[in-house]
Amino acid sequence: MKEVSLLIIVLLVLKAEAQSSTLAIADSLYALGNYSKAINAYAKVGDSFSNLQIARSYKAIGNFEKAIAQYEAVVNENPQMQIARFELGKLFIKTKGFNEARKLFSKLIATNSQNPEYYYYLGETFRKLEQPASSLVAHKNAVAIDSTHLRSLFQLGKYFTIKQERDNALRYVDAGLRFYAEDVSLINLKALIYYNDGQYEKAIPLFEQVLALGERKEYVYEKLGYSYYKNWDFEKAKETYKTLIAMNDSNSETYFALGEVYRKNKQLDSAAIFINTAMDIKRPIFGQGHSALAGLARERKDLKTALKHYTLAHEQMPKEPRHYFQICTVYDRLAENQGEKLKYYQNFIKLYGKNQPYLSQLVAKRVSELKQQIHFEAD
């Protein structure tokens, strides 16, 4: 009897050693990224951990359907295994199974209400489901548990930035930056908060810091260039827009912006060059280009050229009232016949009067003046 018991113990030890050896091989294959062979090796072990590793391997391969099925099998067999449920919830988000993710993270919170990650990912599922109020609550809960939870702080800052609630946005962004001063996403968001609020002087050093930290994206240069321009730092604006053109020379808006910097800096010939380049790049914005060239002509006191370009701008963009308003004002200065001037202004009211109260008020005042002048001339 003792011999039989001893034999059973020996067999169990050998089996455990074999499983341990197989598991070590499987772990090594997994660590080296040889996921298909790792799956086969883990399948020979067959315990809960190995089954979880199989799910992870399928996910790493990109076979999300099999990964979800394997995770669900693990969760059904081990309902208390939070890590499996957590990873499955994140995979549901990745595969746009937002309702499934919402249910999973809600259950995880019911199991463990002090894990900020669960609230964060619940907030993300609500955000993907376009339920911003619920997302806001979840992210606030994450921050209430962990005041340094950067991703939740970012989402809260972003939410209030979109809502144009500057002070609330800054409160969450600054909380994150106090914990990690070089978080590029938070610095960029703070720059955008000031930029959207028209505080360009405060936005500039933040955009500069974003670039210094390696986030050299086109939109950063575009906003930094405009901030320099609004801050009357024309040389830095020129340099920034030229850097942007070197990155992407097919964006007509950059050339227009650079042309506007030169115009503001009273370098009208250079301004005209960049505006014409912009027009050559993208034909559908000829109207914008002609309007800009008209403005340059007005600054040169060349009213006939200005009238020509405003007329072309109006032809290209007939729904834009300001082009026709400029036609009226330039023609007013060029023409001598008061009756002809009056016709232009009256036509403006006919075309745009109902939808342009401010401009219509200016036009109505000028119409009244012209009618008086015509009346006195007739007398």
Predicted confidence at residue 7, as pLDDT, reads 43
Task: For the beta carbon of residue 276, count every other beta carbon within 10 angstroms.
Answer: 15
Task: Report mean pLDDT in 10-residue bins for the chain, 379 residues.
Answer: 49 46 81 88 85 92 94 92 95 96 96 96 96 96 96 96 93 96 95 95 97 92 95 95 90 88 87 82 68 80 85 84 89 86 88 82 87 73
Question: In the structure encoding, which two tokens stand for residue 43, read together?
Answer: 């399948």
For tokens 């007739």, name the residue: 378
Q: Per 3-state DSSP, what percentage of the chain is helix, strand, and coil (rounded to 5)? A: 80, 0, 20
What string of DSSP letters covers 282-327? -GGGHHHHHHHHHHHHHHTT-HHHHHHHHHHHHHH-TT-HHHHHHH
Predicted confidence at residue 3, as pLDDT, reads 55
Q: Per-domain residue ranges for the chain? A: 147-196
Predicted confidence at residue 28, as pLDDT, reads 83
* Cα 86 to Cα 212: distance, rounded to the nearest angstrom: 36
The answer to whether the beta carbons of residues 158 and 189 sit under 8 Å apart is: yes
The answer to whether the beta carbons of residues 104 and 121 sit under 8 Å apart is: no
DSSP state of 78: -
For tokens 């808006």, name the residue: 253
CA distances from 11 to 6, 7, 14, 15 (A): 9, 6, 5, 6
Predicted confidence at residue 116, as pLDDT, reads 96
* Cα 214 to Cα 21: distance, rounded to the nearest angstrom: 45
Long-range contacts of the stretch 67-70 (C-beta < 8 A, 24+) = 67/91, 68/92, 68/95, 68/97
Helix axes 48-61, 35-45, angle to 10 degrees: 160
Helix axes 303-316, 286-299, angle to 10 degrees: 160
- N-term to C-term CA, the chain: 137
Question: In the structure encoding, which two tokens stand for residue 177, read together?
Answer: 């930056």
| Strand ranges inside 153-258, DSSP E | none
* Cα 294 to Cα 311: distance, rounded to the nearest angstrom: 9
DSSP state of 183: -
Closest CA to 275 of 266, 290, 265: 290
